[in-house]
Amino acid sequence: MATLHDRTPVPHHAPAGTEPPSRRVPLPLLVAGLCVALPVSLVCGAGIGASGIPWSEALRHLWAGTTGGSITADEVSSYTIVWELRFPRAVLAAVVGAGLASVGVAVQAMVRNALADPFVLGISSGAAVGANAVLIFGAFAALGVWALSTAAFLSALAAMALVYAIARTPRGLTPLRLVLTGTALHYGFSAVTTFMVFAAEHGEAARSAMMWLLGSLGGASWSSVPIAGCAVLGGLLHLGWSARRLNALAMGDETAAALGVDPGRLRRELFLGAAAVTGAVVAVSGAIGFVGLMVPHAARMLVGADHRRLLAVAPLAGAVLLIWVDILSRVVLAPAELPLGVLTAAIGVPCFLLLMRRRTYTFGGA
């Protein structure tokens, strides 16, 4: 029997297709470009905003915050904006973008569906129930600033347990049951959150809830970065370790079994990991759509369907993308902010339609 140690399978018809090999971008060049673009984007995220802080001053504040340097008394206000508000927000945007993109890769392989994204499992809409309970009814008030994130994460875990309990069969988790169960519960949780918004006594609470439902990093702080960062890092390490098995799974359960991969066990691992990462990032950013759907497809178009290459590109691309989306959300209607989900949809929909028009790109062989 062939095993993964004999050869590394690369799916010809992965959950989403790919460009012919001659059209692919060299992987080292693309990764190097993204590795340069990421820190540049982080600096831009700290320097660009509604407050007119000169670039020289913003860079000096970043240096002072990074090295523990000193600032003058009249610079406290601008330093707070750059180091305590903008920069942690940019870092969190990178973490969330990387998490959503990597989970998108995992979910599309797990359910072998080109339209799958991190939210197809119903985890994000489950997290919204807990978040709305805090924003509208003041639940978990004793936790103070941690109330929103804690409630969203706990309700995401509860949604994960419910999806798993319903979708699981004696034969394990199957792609179709996961998609159907997650989709059905997504609509159920969405109905609950809609009812909660309409039941809100104060208009400002309903507005905050709707802002969170469409995605926002307005509440970002340094304290919110480590938890989400650890969850995303753990998910990326597991996916990187499982890249060969993901290649086998994308070729079908029978092929995966012939190559020595237990598709049921791998699908359970992916489900639990995807749910944990999705719950962690949604808890700090709200429900941001299209990143987990669009970025994996764009990465496949550039580097092919091999998950070893894909997982080197998609997280970096997702991080850079969401940083710039967050920058746009702050400056388009400054001083007001746009929900991130509005901009990701505005960018993602036309890009996705253009991708569909490419004759050399196939979606699951369709």
For position 98, which CATH number holds? Answer: 1.10.3470.10
SS3 at position 169: strand
Structural domain for 303, as ranges: 21-357
**How much is the average pLDDT of 232-248?**
93
Mean per-residue pLDDT over the chain, rounded: 85
Most confident of 115-124, 171-180, 185-194, 311-320: 311-320
Total domains present in the chain = 1
* Domain annotation covers residue 5: no
- The yes-or-no verdict on residue 195 having pLDDT over 60 is yes
Amino acid 19: pLDDT: 44
* Any domain includes 119: yes
18 pLDDT tier (thresholds 50, 70, 90): very low
Decide: 121 and 104 in contact? Cβ < 8 Å. Answer: no
Q: Tally the C-alpha atoms within 13 A of residue 143's C-alpha that lie toward its C-beta.
A: 11
More confident residue, 2 or 96: 96
Segment 59-74 shows an average pLDDT of 88
pLDDT at position 4 is 54
Residue 215 lies in a domain: yes
CA 31-290-310 angle, to 5 degrees, is 30
User: Helix (H, G, I), strand (E, B), or coil: what is residue 179?
Assistant: helix
pTM: 0.87
| Beta-carbon-side half-sphere exposure of residue 30 (alpha carbons within 13 Å) | 20
The arithmetic mean of pLDDT across residues 127-141, rounded, is: 84
CB 197, CB 206: distance < 8 Å: yes
**290 occurs within a structural domain:** yes
Domain assignment present for residue 262? The answer is: yes
Bridge partners of 169, per DSSP, are 172
Rounded Cα–Cα distance for residues 192 and 128 (Å): 9
**DSSP 8-state assignment for residue 172:** B
- Coil, strand or helix at 221: coil
In this predicted structure, the answer to whether residue 20 has a pLDDT above a threshold of 60 is no
The reply to whether 348 falls in a domain is: yes
Paired with 172 in beta bridges are 169
Separation of alpha carbons 245 and 239, rounded Å: 9
Residue 273 forms part of a structural domain:
yes
Is residue 26 in a domain? yes
